[in-house]
Chain A
């Protein structure tokens, strides 16, 4: 069993993967036609996100990650709208637990489970501390953060099925708490959990269902997955690796790479390099991509591959890791099979524009995924 999730572009989108200025959503200046979709005031972009959720649902995805950034709408709000707009689609709320009291978070989650028939998942993010964390009004010492997340989840799970539950932690103290009927006893939301330090893995071993990591070179992934499985098995729990990556798939290899080259040609490379040098936009910092495989204007993008995965998708507006899939529908399915064969139990895929590509990937790529548990040759180039 593998979970296939899509991803909602809470931060806006491009209407065309190769055209940086054909935008959707009101995070960029509006031009005539660019707000398409956007005529159902007062919440046009919410309408658009709902359409993406429904497209992904019909195309065969299990659910979608709803990412959260300082400038985006809130995933809890989006999730409760999706709950009524889709039939079986699951919604993965990205959130930093400590911003909501754990008993209250449990109550809100139980309500969402009742509303949706148990379709909630979480992407638990443990903030990095420092100024970015203080923007949210949250001061936490770097070394304490996973302990706080662990305590949060201790309490969350402690009260989930009813009380009385008492807890005396460093960050949370609870006395005789527990969700009351009829909120108690709902299906517990599955937890995707980001982070791969020792502290992060220890916290996951206790609570997580999936260890979520961005796409990285396969050798690095193997090491990571090994550590996750080792730690989790100590606690007798099963924590499955999960990967988040972007996909640009077309009918043929040539068509896919032609899209990349069109995007290359339309890129403002001076601005791109300024951003990359500034380490902004998640492009350069912590990049899993070696220097010689980073995107440059004068390189043939098809050369930028590691293990058959393309290392320049951020140039085409992709969010998150630059490493992802470019190729024919068959190639895309093969790469996904490669990951499944490494033990991946959950995938969060995305493509631009997220609406149209949800249908394309669901209709054309997912049916070709075999999910074999036997070694497949990794493409050399």
Chain B
């Protein structure tokens, strides 16, 4: 199965440094304001926002050969659904994967938004769901455990699928209920969005087995990942389904291995999640190839600064990945 490679957008600011205090892209974190001292000749207010920068990153991912962008949820960041909408016409080929907090949305309304999105983008929507344990300080204050979030998401996706086409769809669950649901033309009949889900628990794998197209794993060694992928596929087979295994990885890569290692040490003073993703381009590509051999067929990659690194990773790592070494465009 060929590799699908997504690039990650920076949801809450970006910069050349790994120290957030030095980021000068984005307005969220009290970044240093750097007014331009010399009067430019053009006095018009340019009104550029962080959205203009995110559009640039998405365009970089599109032009350099990625298959899609993942737009992460973050408390301080722009809302991924809105970002995805703003990007829908900026990029014309790649898929858009906003990370959605299912528990904040009605399942029917989410399906309606998704159907509209498919019409807007000619079917390029990917829905990336997360269910993490409640953290102290979460602003929403639901206090749901990971297990409860997954149980809710399970029902959410059941309803979401149920109403996608004309219906009538009736459902009564613990968290959601619907009577005679289903969309009318022209909203119905759209291609169903790819569903991505993540998490390492057995319960998370079971949810993906029932609903997801891609299950994204957190960084861990290929050896540790292989049995988890086998477990995922066994669970999916029980449902008569198949699910792609994916890996989310932050890269620190460079032409010069030592330089990458130094940058990696600055990024993760306590050691990188998987040290093998820090290194020279060829090393990192080989490591990603090892994940592919272990069964990973979707990658979600990110590196800072996301704009510049999209090009560097696309130029130096993507062509070294299995099945991607051919010219993306033949010269005349």
Contact = CB atoms under 8 A, between A and B. Distances in A.
Interface stretch (A37-45, A136-144, A225-233): A37-45
A242 B237 CA distance: 69
A36 B40 contact: no
Interface residues of A, number: 50
B329 A2 contact: no
A356 interface: yes
Q: Is the interface of A mostly helix, strand, loop or mixed?
A: loop
A3 B47 CA distance: 19
B329 A44 contact: yes
A106 B9 CA distance: 44
Interface residues of B, number: 44
Contact of B63 (A44, A90, A340): A44
A58 B48 contact: yes
Given A32-B325, A33-B319, A359-B307, A40 B56 contact: no
Contacts of A39: 62-65, 93, 328-329
A10 B36 CA distance: 28
Interface in A1-55: 1-4, 15-16, 19, 22, 26, 29-41, 44, 47-48, 51, 54-55
A371 B24 contact: no
Contacts of A366: 36, 38
Interface in B15-74: 16, 24-25, 34-42, 44, 46-48, 52-53, 56, 59-60, 62-65
Interface stretch (B75-83, B119-127, B308-316): B308-316
A32 B327 contact: yes
B223 interface: no
Contact of B326 (A32, A40, A47, A370): A32
B20 to A, nearest CB: 16
Contacts of A356: 307-308, 311
Q: Which of B39, B59, B318 has the most CB of A within 10 A?
A: B59
B87 to A, nearest CB: 14
B135 interface: no
A257 B63 CA distance: 31
A57 B53 CA distance: 11
Contacts of B36: 60, 366-367, 369
A37 B40 contact: no
Contacts, number: 131
A38 B329 contact: yes
A355 interface: yes
Given A36-B315, A40-B62, A54 B56 contact: yes
Given A38-B63, A39-B63, A51-B56, A3 B311 contact: no
Contacts of A371: 37-39
A33 B38 contact: no
A114 to B, nearest CB: 17
Nearest to A336: B38
Contacts of B34: 363, 367
A55 B56 contact: yes
A280 interface: no
B331 interface: yes
Contacts of A359: 307-308
B134 interface: no
A36 B63 contact: yes
A62 interface: yes
B89 interface: no
Given A33-B319, A36-B65, A51 B329 contact: no
Contacts of B41: 1-3, 62
A24 B34 CA distance: 31
Interface centre among A4, A340, A370 (most CB of B within 10 A): A4
Most buried by B among A1, A3, A36, A367: A36
A363 B63 CA distance: 23
A57 B325 CA distance: 34
Contacts of B52: 54, 58
Contacts of A33: 65, 314-316, 318-319
A80 interface: no
Of A19, A35, A90, A370, most B-chain CB atoms within 10 Å = A35
A186 interface: no
A3 B311 CA distance: 29
A100 to B, nearest CB: 26
A297 interface: no
B56 A35 contact: no
A60 B16 CA distance: 18
B140 to A, nearest CB: 33
Interface in B244-269: 255
A147 interface: no
A357 B318 CA distance: 23
Contacts of A47: 59, 63
B37 A38 contact: no
A37 B60 contact: yes
Contacts of A84: none
A166 to B, nearest CB: 34
Interface in B277-332: 307-308, 311-312, 314-316, 318-319, 324-329, 331
A278 B41 CA distance: 41
A88 interface: yes
Contacts of B44: 88
List the 4 shortest-distance A-B pairs measured between CB atoms, nearest first: A37-B63, A32-B319, A371-B38, A33-B319
Given A36-B63, A39-B329, A369-B37, 11 more contacts: A32-B319, A33-B319, A35-B329, A44-B63, A55-B307, A58-B53, A87-B46, A356-B308, A359-B308, A366-B38, A370-B38
25 contacts: A2-B39, A16-B255, A29-B331, A30-B327, A32-B319, A32-B327, A33-B315, A33-B318, A33-B319, A34-B315, A36-B328, A39-B64, A39-B328, A40-B63, A51-B60, A51-B63, A54-B52, A54-B56, A55-B307, A363-B25, A366-B38, A367-B35, A367-B36, A370-B37, A371-B38
Interface of A: 1-4, 15-16, 19, 22, 26, 29-41, 44, 47-48, 51, 54-55, 57-58, 60, 62-63, 87-88, 90, 251, 340, 353, 355-356, 359-360, 363, 366-371
